[in-house]
Amino acid sequence: MKKIITTEKQPIKLWLDDIESGAFEQARNLANLPFIFQHVAVMPDAHLGYGMPIGGVMASAEMVVPNAVGVDIGCGMCAVRTSLITISTDQLKGVLAEIRRTVPLGFNHHKKKQDPRLMPKPEVPLDELTIVSREYQAALTQLGTLGGGNHFIEIQKGDDGRIWLMVHSGSRNIGFKVANYYNHLAMELNRQWGSNIPTSWQLAFLPITSEIGQTYLREMRYCVEFALANRKMMMERVKEALLAVVQPVTFEPMINIAHNYAAMEFHFDRHVLVHRKGATSARAGEIGIIPGSQGSPSYIVRGRGNPESFESCAHGAGRKMGRKQAQRQLDLAREKKRLDDQGIIHAVRSARDLDEAPGSYKDIDEVIDNQLDLVEVLVALRPLAVIKG
């Protein structure tokens, strides 16, 4: 931990020295919520989000805040260690071509609905999940699709000598619809209840014990499971693509970690709902993934179970500039050369791709160094080839 701010209703514990002003203001708002529990934890990759900074962790025994989970519910990482110790550039290009053939990218969906047996099983009858039931049929065409933004598929070389596969994606449109519906519903209910929390904070809440709060939590958990099912299907396609080009290959069990969700946990002698928005669980011994940019390493880590962060850690490098800012300010030739010089088959082709260029992200090694009290590094993974949404 770098510092503790004690000027607000509850402390703010920071694992970084240089938090941007907007993200810090959001952390202050969280610390002044009447239902905040213990303190607010801000991870070293923190940056401005909607309502709550991305890279923020908060807990409450009373309320759930949809914007403290975010719009891409269940977004997260999965990684698989392979038996390969080397792969050629031509083989990498062949694998990428096969992935592009079988995994829809960006706004694209499958033309046909996928097998419903691969969808998560709901906790209650499907028709009791207002938004999930409405979006279910569309979600069948989105299962096994990457999406856009910072979502990616990477082939990497670990410092353990092995080739690794990694996928970063979320719950696609179904998670977005659930998040927006319940956030707007919470805003309207907060207005009716005469809440004194400023609407400008974008932190509308629902009581955990209320029927609507419970329904949101069930729909949120479904989206977390859908995001996992989505990553699993893509990982299977990536493994098949590798096998189509290189044989023999064996695969170890998949590591999975989500970074946008809320879950009931036991902290500081109390059961509370921990909200992680751009932060991952890092319980003692838990294996996690902290990705860099497409031009920097990613890390497989083991959690230390630090109670001060609610047993959490960073979810990635974190942005140091917004998407539009990156497209305006970064130099395309310089960013491409930075990747080309490392021999990475990358996804920076034009100025519009600069929002995902390495220069738009924080230094992942500094992010890791700032949280060595939260995680232990197990494997460093250097990118070889990247597909972006």
In contact, 379 and 158? CB cutoff 8 Å: yes
Structural Rg of the chain based on CA atoms: 20
Tell me whether residue 315 is one of the annotated catalytic residues.
yes
In contact, 140 and 116? CB cutoff 8 Å: yes
In contact, 170 and 260? CB cutoff 8 Å: yes
Question: Residue 206's beta-bridge partner residues?
Answer: 64
- Selected catalytic residue, list 39, 109, 275, 315: 315
Q: Is 45 exposed, middle or buried (0-12, 13-18, 19+ CB in 10 A)?
A: buried
In contact, 288 and 76? CB cutoff 8 Å: no
Question: Residue 41's beta-bridge partner residues?
Answer: 13, 57
Cα–Cα distance measured from residue 50 to residue 58, given in angstroms and rounded to the nearest whole number: 14
Q: Which residues, in sequence order, are CB contacts of 351 under 8 Å at separation 6+? A: 327, 332
- How would you list the strands of the sheet with 255-258, edge to edge? 255-258, 76-81, 163-169, 152-158, 375-388, 298-303, 287-290
CA nearest neighbour of 38 among 352, 310, 330, 382 = 310
| Residue numbers annotated as active site | 315
